Structure 1
């Protein structure tokens, strides 16, 4: 099961990444992404319909950890689609207020679901048998009405809530990125002295994002007082590169199963190899 779902998720991420690169219009991008995700969810549902879980633990793992990774993407792109469709045509001040209101909506959802947020974020499991087993819902747990309209063979009372939490993390980053872009427009282009030698970043944007987060974590700029946003903008300016939603990229890096710091590990290994080579020119 894990091998098949991992392959499905990997293929889905690959298709979504391709769309991110190929389609510039955000609304069109969301439409294409939603279409693909729906097809993959149908495949996932068919897979589960033919599969018998070996234990309750395995079933809980699927509905708590695996399915939300798929459904959260659908929630994310659908909500971004709605946000962009309703984006006002006014000036920066109006658009900024609009996105701030969207952040407030996320906070309202968080406040309303605070108990489950705490349960999920803390890694608790004492209610998993009620939350993530099919047909084991407890009406006293304040269920959303949508649950009673879902396919009971492919849903539990709380797998959607987990997906919503994961999606909300990404939506918050998306909105914050939009607000940063608005602030940058307000500030306007500032002339800065350029170095004599132009450097071009030829590794991946993911690798650069990993490096930026590592440097920020170590506090190497301004005695640790530099904001992540400022560091990222400086790197973007130096290398004339658009890192896009680098906060979202970091979430993907953090979710890696193996070697979360792949680029940093490669740097470390390369430097150690250079130090061990006595003939290397310093």
Structure 2
């Protein structure tokens, strides 16, 4: 029996690998994959129902390690299909938020199934006779409702959970790759939007220092969390200017006898004058 099933698994993997190479559209790919996997599962189901397991260990091995390799692929492609179908139209920011939310769903499953997840990942076996043998379910093990609707000749209480764990591993990689692609696209688009001209600061260093402190005081960078030193270094980099001992410069600005905000005041007056002139034109 195992020889026939192993052949079916190898055949399934080969067919899915072919789809991954030949079909680019993820929705079409998933539709084809699901169809192939269902046929493959139907074949091994007939083999299992027709033939009896020779030992309890053979039955446990099948439902703990072999069957989940088939059903995990079905779960994976079905989840990818849903993700792609619900994928929002919008910019990279919207897509990144969408994929991050999908990762949170995977974490939610992990949190809800933490006890069994730890049991399975640790390689434990002491509950295998309950988890992976047909008809040996224990209501105290917090069974999912779907178990009571499954075909008990081809299902145990926890073989589907193993498949979900394996599918989630694959899905996490899929989503993380999508996030990387979106991030790279975002970086590429930003690099393409670079200005064609280079702006140089032609005002005084004192004026730039005054502006630097004003912007930091207003908390306009990173919701007010940006450090003064980081802003100063950013200005120096962007404008290719050395502000020198800007803290000492600020001390001198503070001790001015008249108009301590000389540059900011000049900015305010210039902008108001421009607005007034614009009103006259209108």
TM-score normalised by structure 1 residue count = 0.67
SS of residue matched to 1:188: helix
Residue 107, structure 1, aligned to residue 107, structure 2? yes
Distance 1:20 1:55 in 2: 37
Distance 1:4 1:82 in 2: 32
CA drift at 1:187: 1.2
CA drift at 1:5: 1.2
CA drift at 1:35: 0.3
Distance 1:106 1:146 in 2: 19
- Residue by residue over 1:162-209, the C-alpha shift from the partner in whole angstroms, topping out at 9 and shown as x without a partner, is 000000000000000000001100111779xxxxxxxxxxxxxxxxxx
- Residue by residue over 1:109-155, the C-alpha shift from the partner in whole angstroms, topping out at 9 and shown as x without a partner, is 00000000000000000000000000000000000000000000000
Distance 1:186 1:92 in 2: 6
**Alignment-derived partner of residue 70 in structure 1:** 70
When structure 1 is superposed on structure 2, of 165-174 and 2-11 the one drifting more is: 2-11
Structure 1: state its 5+ residue gaps.
192-282
SS of residue matched to 2:65: helix
Distance 1:53 1:109 in 2: 32
Distance 1:54 1:13 in 2: 27
1:203-214 alignment, distance < 5 Å: none
**Alignment-derived partner of residue 196 in structure 1:** none
Rg bigger for which structure?
A: 2
TM-score normalised by structure 2 residue count = 0.67
- Residue by residue over 1:35-59, the C-alpha shift from the partner in whole angstroms, topping out at 9 and shown as x without a partner, is 0000000001001011111110110
**Alignment-derived partner of residue 27 in structure 2:** 27
**Alignment-derived partner of residue 90 in structure 1:** 90
1:96-245 alignment, distance < 5 Å: 96-188=96-188
Distance 1:170 1:94 in 2: 23
CA drift at 1:3: 1.4
User: For the aligned residues, what is the CA RMSD?
Assistant: 1.1
- Residue by residue over 1:187-244, the C-alpha shift from the partner in whole angstroms, topping out at 9 and shown as x without a partner, is 11779xxxxxxxxxxxxxxxxxxxxxxxxxxxxxxxxxxxxxxxxxxxxxxxxxxxxx
Distance 1:63 1:109 in 2: 21
Distance 1:38 1:2 in 2: 19
Structure 2: state its 5+ residue gaps.
193-282
CA drift at 1:2: 2.1
Distance 1:56 1:30 in 2: 35
Runs ≥4 residues deviating over 3 A? none
**Alignment-derived partner of residue 224 in structure 1:** none
- Residue by residue over 1:73-96, the C-alpha shift from the partner in whole angstroms, topping out at 9 and shown as x without a partner, is 000000000000000001000010
CA drift at 1:13: 0.5
Give aligned pairs, total. 191
Distance 2:47 2:55 in 1: 17
Distance 1:111 1:51 in 2: 37
Distance 2:141 2:53 in 1: 25
